[in-house]
Amino acid sequence: MSNKGARVSNKGARASNKPINTLSLYFQREWQLMFRNTSSLIQPLVFFVIIALLFPFSLPAEGELLQRIGGGVIWVSAVLATMLSLESMFHSDYQDGTLEQMLIHPRSLSLAMLGKALAHWTATGLILTLFSPVLCVTFNIPNEQIWVLFAGLLLGTPSLSLIGAIGAALTVTLRRGGVLIAIVILPLYIPILIFGAGMLTQSAQGLEVASQLYALAAILALSITLAPFAIAGALRVTIN
């Protein structure tokens, strides 16, 4: 009798450990945390806009030049804004001990980290992407290229969050990890930058951009499948 009861409760435990539950649980948790601290939602966006606006000030005020480099500028700003938000990704969880609880919990750590990274993307990359058309207008980028840039950012920024989380996880225990994240992560961002910004150059010349979109999608598929394991591994290494 008691044996049966144990089996039932065991089943219940297993049901709550379903992969999708782990994923959505951590995703929701991140969202709740972010809405209680809205400054973390606004900061990357403000940073993104300020960086992008520094370029027109530092370059000769020629409309045609700005139009040509606008796409690249927006991409670089998105990369920098994502990178700056990475440092705080695991920081408070590490400080209050939540991260250690995640590590010893029987739930899949990789899936939990996937949920966390995706939530990070919705708070940084997605918001930047949604706002990018406004910046495009200030750079006088033609309408059809705005859509090209939008699609590129939408496919590219999730990879930025996922790959960046590996660097954030590696440096979470360090007191000044910010510069180290930049050194470790920026070289890994280069392919995404090349395909994303290259798309705009191609479409400005009236060429097809499908191949670059496929490449960005391939990188995204790779980072969704592999990065969570690397993030989990990095956390297991750095937190004893």
Partner 1 sequence: MNPISATWNFLSNTYHRLGSPREFYTISRYTTPVFGILFLTLSLIGTYFGLFVAPADYQQGDAFRILFVHVPVAWMSMFVYVVMATAGAIGLIWRIKMAFVVTICSAPIGAAFTALALLTGSIWGKPIWGTYWVWDARLTSELILLFLYFGVIAVYYAFEERKTAEKATALLSVVGVVIVPIIHYSVEWWSSLHQGATVFAEGGPKMPTEMLLPLAFMAVGFMFFYGYALFLSMQNRVLENEHKSRWVREMVISQGKQ
Tell me if 166 contacts partner 1 by CB under 8 A.
yes
Q: Burial code of 87-126, b = ≥16 C-beta within 10 A, e = fewer?
A: bebbeebbeeeebeebeeeebebbbbbbbbbbbbbbbbbb
178 Cβ neighbours under 8 A, 6+ residues apart: 87
Tell me if 70 contacts partner 1 by CB under 8 A.
no
> From the list 46, 65, 130, 174, which residue makes contact with partner 1 (rule: CB under 8 A)?
174
* Dihedral sign for Cα atoms in the order 66, 71, 72, 76: positive
Tell me if 190 contacts partner 1 by CB under 8 A.
yes
Question: How many beta carbons lie within 10 A of that of residue 207, not counting itself?
Answer: 12
Calpha distance 107→93 (Å, rounded): 17
> From the list 184, 204, 217, 224, which residue makes contact with partner 1 (rule: CB under 8 A)?
184
> From the list 65, 194, 210, 221, which residue makes contact with partner 1 (rule: CB under 8 A)?
194
Tell me if 103 contacts partner 1 by CB under 8 A.
no
Tell me if 59 contacts partner 1 by CB under 8 A.
no
Between 123 and 199, CB nearer to partner 1: 199
Kindly state the tokens that stand for 196: 């994303």
| Chain contacts with partner 1 (rule: CB under 8 A) | 166, 170-171, 173-174, 177, 180, 183-184, 186-188, 190-191, 194-195, 198, 215, 219, 222, 226, 230, 233-234, 237-238, 240
